């Protein structure tokens, strides 16, 4: 149990470095960053693709391919979010994904929303409004582009979570990681042909990013999930937000506005409570 707790805490802290690494890789176009993020895990886990004892293309693999395709858009939006707005803004808005999961599952199972759930959704919406309320409204604003990308990314992530979860009994954890990255790793290859002049250290950082986030984070998460209740694991993953904001402050000298702090607290309270309500019902 202790090892699992340490694993999920380490996972959340490491995941918090996502935004800083993306900012450091801003010499690359977003598509090239996405290539490193997805191709490295696929290459690292390549034996899983060709395993004869546990074939990858089993179960409802067409649905998995669709989810993997949706993940292309989701990942691109995720990287755009961190490139265009601050790490604090991006990570807070990306963590609205549990709310979207809840809405999708409610629609899928045709369950009417309860009063408490509606209030939590309104709380999250209020938090989003407050978070953006000190920004100028312009479609040319970097903050506007980044924050909209973060919210759309959260929606895309929620869709893939629901899809991957529905087929998870057919696949191992490593196979699920492959499916998450499979289509993206191929789709983003052309972006590597239009790179600016870069040195080998930047390529090395890109490879490190793909391994650090694509392999280490997910291995730690799946290990912890085997030994911890889902509610504990999901609750501790909120440490990622604190890690991301702290790293942004100390490494990138980013500061949080009062609007982001207040709006972020409302969003995270809503997201966390909705997650806990879903777990209790199961």
By percentage, how much of the chain surpasses pLDDT 70?
Answer: 90
- Work out the average pLDDT over 12-31: 93
pLDDT band at 52 (very low <50, low <70, confident <90, very high): confident
Q: Among 74, 47, 11, which residue's Cα sits nearest to residue 175?
A: 47
Report the C-alpha gap between 144 and 65 in whole angstroms.
Answer: 31
Report the C-alpha gap between 240 and 13 in whole angstroms.
Answer: 5
Q: pLDDT higher for 281 or 162?
A: 162
Q: What is the dihedral of CA 148, 149, 151, 154, to 10 degrees?
A: 170
Q: Encoding tokens for residue 221?
A: 């998460």
DSSP class of 50: T
pLDDT 10s digits, 121-169: 788 788 877 876 766 555 557 888 898 999 999 999 889 888 887 887 7
pLDDT 10s digits, 259-272: 878 888 887 787 77
Instruction: Look up the pTM and report it.
Output: 0.84
- Work out the average pLDDT over 50-58: 84
Averaged confidence pLDDT in the chain: 84
Q: Among 213, 270, 260, 212, which residue's Cα sits nearest to residue 238?
A: 270
Only one residue has tokens 């490139």, namely 83
Q: What pLDDT, on the 0 to 100 scale, is given for residue 176?
A: 85
Q: What pLDDT, on the 0 to 100 scale, is given for residue 39?
A: 95
Q: Determine the 3-state secondary structure of 63 from DSSP.
A: helix
Q: What pLDDT, on the 0 to 100 scale, is given for residue 98?
A: 76
Q: Encoding tokens for residue 158?
A: 């929620």
């Amino acid at each position: 149990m202790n090892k699992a707790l340490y694993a999920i805490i380490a996972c959340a802290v490491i995941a918090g470095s996502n935004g800083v690494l993306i900012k450091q890789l801003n010499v690359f176009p977003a598509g090239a960053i996405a290539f490193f993020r997805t191709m490295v895990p696929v290459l690292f886990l390549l034996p899983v693709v060709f395993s004869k004892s546990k074939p990858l293309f089993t179960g409802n693999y067409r649905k998995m391919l669709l989810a993997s395709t949706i993940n292309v858009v989701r990942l691109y939006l995720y990287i755009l979010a961190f490139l265009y707005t601050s790490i604090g803004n991006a990570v807070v808005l990306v963590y609205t994904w549990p709310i979207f999961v809840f809405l999708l599952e409610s629609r899928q199972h045709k369950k009417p929303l309860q009063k408490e759930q509606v209030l939590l959704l309104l709380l999250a919406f209020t938090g989003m409004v407050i978070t953006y309320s000190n920004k100028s409204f312009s479609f040319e604003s970097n903050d506007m582009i980044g924050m909209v990308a973060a919210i759309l990314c959260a929606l895309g992530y929620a869709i893939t979570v629901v899809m991957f979860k529905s087929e998870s009994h057919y696949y191992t954890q490593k196979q699920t990681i492959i499916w998450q990255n499979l289509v993206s790793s191929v789709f983003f290859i052309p972006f590597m042909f239009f790179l600016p002049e870069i040195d080998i250290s930047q390529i090395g950082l890109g490879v490190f990013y793909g391994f650090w986030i694509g392999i280490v984070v997910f291995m730690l998460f799946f290990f912890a999930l085997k030994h911890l209740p889902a509610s504990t694991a999901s609750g501790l993953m909120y440490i990622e937000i604190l890690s991301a904001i702290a790293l942004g402050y100390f490494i990138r000298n980013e500061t949080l506005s009062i609007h982001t702090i207040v709006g972020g607290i409302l969003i995270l309270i809503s997201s966390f409570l909705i997650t806990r309500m879903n777990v209790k019902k199961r």
